[in-house]
A and B are shown apart, each in its own frame.
Chain A
Amino acid sequence: MYETTYHRPSSVAEAASLFGKGKEAKYLAGGHTLIPVMKQRLASPSDVIDLGKLKELIGVEATGNGVEIKAATTHYDVSTSDAVKKAIPALAYLAAHIGDPHVRHRGTIGGSLANNDPAADYPAAVLALGATVKTNKRTISADEFFKGLFTTALQDGEIITAVSFPVAAKAGYGKFPHPASRFALTGVFVAKTAGGDVRVAATGASQNGVMRVPAIEAALKANWSAGAIDGVKVSADGLLNDIHGSSGYRANLIKVMAQRAVAAAG
């Protein structure tokens, strides 16, 4: 790892101002993406600004129509939160299946979304549930937030402060974990919104990161059941094709994981 300077600000405002002063500053939350990348010398920030201990960024709150999860809340705390389990059990399930217990003790929802790894789990839930990403500057809808591999709508220095999830009439997550890394080889989050709309998002599958799956959405809208997905054709175009699985294999995994997700959602 190259040299760096560590900062522990006491507020989001101070963090943003430190970021502005750094030559090539980076925020640090759980560090479970950034530190491995710094160890590999693929990132060499001049300054790291620790958001992980900011009280204003930690915690889960029940809102009128769902839950708001502050950005530096760990995967473990989301998976065990009574508010999350009550409002959107599928979200608690998803958080409980990220990586391993040690990763869940450190990694945060804000870090995961800012990083937007094409095989990360949270992006699928955020997109399928139509959540809203709140930053220190504005709010961004899920449909606007994800911009392709490791790319988001966040501007330089912008800090995610919270993510607001509306409750769904039904929601479920199906994940086929990569046996070594635990990231999603393919994961599918299905949601029937309170208004009756159906949104299905797949992660780990596309060359462009998390994506909606319109064919499965249409089938589930007509008939919310795992069986309704049997006859759906998911195209392999634009899907990842690598040593872990061909694009055709992933296209099939999208269907199978969607079926498991619907079965789990009930």
Chain B
Amino acid sequence: MSTVKLTVNGKAVSVDVEDRTLLVQLLRENLNLTGTHVGCDTSQCGACVVHIDGRAVKSCTVLATQAAGSNVTTIEGIAKGEELHPMQAAFRDNHGLQCGFCTPGMIMSSIDIVNRHGGKVDEATVRQELDGNICRCTGYHNIVKAVLDAASRMKVAQAAE
């Protein structure tokens, strides 16, 4: 057993877990943050993507102990109260989800893509970089539209800040 201390969505937490616990289990089972999903057992689907220290990672392929001392952001941590994050709003407006299972991972990955490219993304980049996220419903078209839409909104939001 280890005591893992980390920051999740801005709050310091300390959790006792077995050393074999995956970060996604700590989030879902210990912290009840069930927005982060598990869609595969092979590190391929991206439903579990969260940010560790600002970088998108598959939380099913990180030990909870490896994340000790880090800053973790999950899908629950991006809205400002009732106000959706621009990426969440763009997914809703562009019909970027159907069943919603892949959506938390898609949104966390998409925010990372836009941030890494300083808001300047085109369709080819978005498609290429969503390589690690699988959606069984939408056919991706509206997801890509949503990300491009959000990229312009995020730029506007940054400029206004």
* Contacting residue for B56 out of A3, A5, A101, CB 8 A: A101
Taking the complex as formed, is A52 at the interface, i.e. its CB lies under 8 A from any CB of chain B? yes
Q: Tell me whether B19 and A31 are in contact (CB under 8 A).
A: no
Check A101–B112 contact: CB distance below 8 A.
yes
**Is the Cβ of A35 less than 8 Å from the Cβ of B56?**
no
Chain B interface residue count, CB cutoff 8 Å, equals 29
A1–B49 alpha-carbon span in the complex (Å): 20
Indicate if B14 sits at the interface (CB-CB under 8 A): no
A105 touches B57 (CB 8 A): yes
CA A39 to CA B129, docked complex, whole Å? 26
A99 at the interface (CB under 8 A from B): yes
Residues of chain A from 67 to 100 with CB closer than 8 A to chain B in the complex:
76, 99-100
Residue of B nearest to A181 (CB): B44
Tell me, in angstroms, the Cα distance from A168 to B109 when the chains sit together: 35
Chain B residues with CB under 8 A of A39? 41
- Report B-chain residues with C-beta under 8 Å of the C-beta of A36: 42-43, 61
Stretch of B5-13, B62-70, B137-145 that contacts chain A: B62-70
Known: A3-B18, A5-B19, A36-B43. A105 touches B63 (CB 8 A): no
Contact residues, B1-43 vs A (CB, 8 A): 2, 18-20, 22, 41-43
Closest to B21 in A: A1
Contact B62 A99 (CB under 8 A): no
What number of A-B contacts does a CB cutoff of 8 Å give?
76
Residue from B56, B63, B116 with most neighbouring chain A CB atoms (10 Å): B63
A182 CB contacts on chain B under 8 angstroms: 131
Please report which residues of chain B, range 65-81, place their CB below 8 angstroms from some CB of chain A when the two chains form the complex. 65-66, 68
A5: chain B residues within 8 A (beta carbon)? 19
Q: How many angstroms between the C-alpha atoms of A32 and B90 in the bound complex? A: 31
Check if B96 is an interface residue, CB within 8 A of chain A: no
Q: Is the CB of B132 within 8 A of A3?
A: no
> How big is the A interface, by class?
20 to 34
Closest chain A residue to B17, Cβ basis: A6
CA–CA, A76 and B116, complex, Å: 11
Residue from A36, A48, A101, A102 whose CB has the most chain B CB atoms within 10 Å: A102
Q: Which residue of A lies closest to B53 (CB)?
A: A105
Q: A1-B20, A103-B132 are in contact. Are A76 and B55 (CB under 8 A)?
A: yes
Identity of the chain A residue whose Cβ is nearest the Cβ of B52 in the assembled complex: A105
B57-A6 in contact (CB<8A)? no
Q: Which residues of A contact B132 (CB under 8 A)?
A: 99-103
B133 CB contacts on chain A under 8 angstroms = 100
Partner of B61, one of A4, A32, A52: A32
> CB-nearest residue of chain B relative to A5?
B19
Contact B58 A50 (CB under 8 A): no
Alpha-carbon distance A5/B17, docked complex (angstroms): 11
What are 29 sample pairs from A and B whose C-beta atoms fall under 8 A apart?
A: A1-B20, A2-B20, A3-B18, A3-B20, A6-B63, A8-B65, A28-B63, A28-B66, A35-B43, A35-B61, A35-B63, A36-B43, A52-B66, A99-B132, A100-B132, A101-B56, A101-B113, A101-B116, A101-B131, A101-B132, A102-B49, A102-B58, A102-B109, A102-B132, A103-B58, A105-B55, A105-B57, A106-B61, A181-B44
Q: Which residues of A approach B to under 8 Å, CB–CB?
A: 1-6, 8, 28, 31-32, 35-36, 38-40, 48, 50, 52, 76, 99-103, 105-106, 180-182
Given contacts A2-B20, A36-B61, 4 further A-B pairs with CB under 8 A are: A35-B22, A101-B56, A101-B129, A102-B46
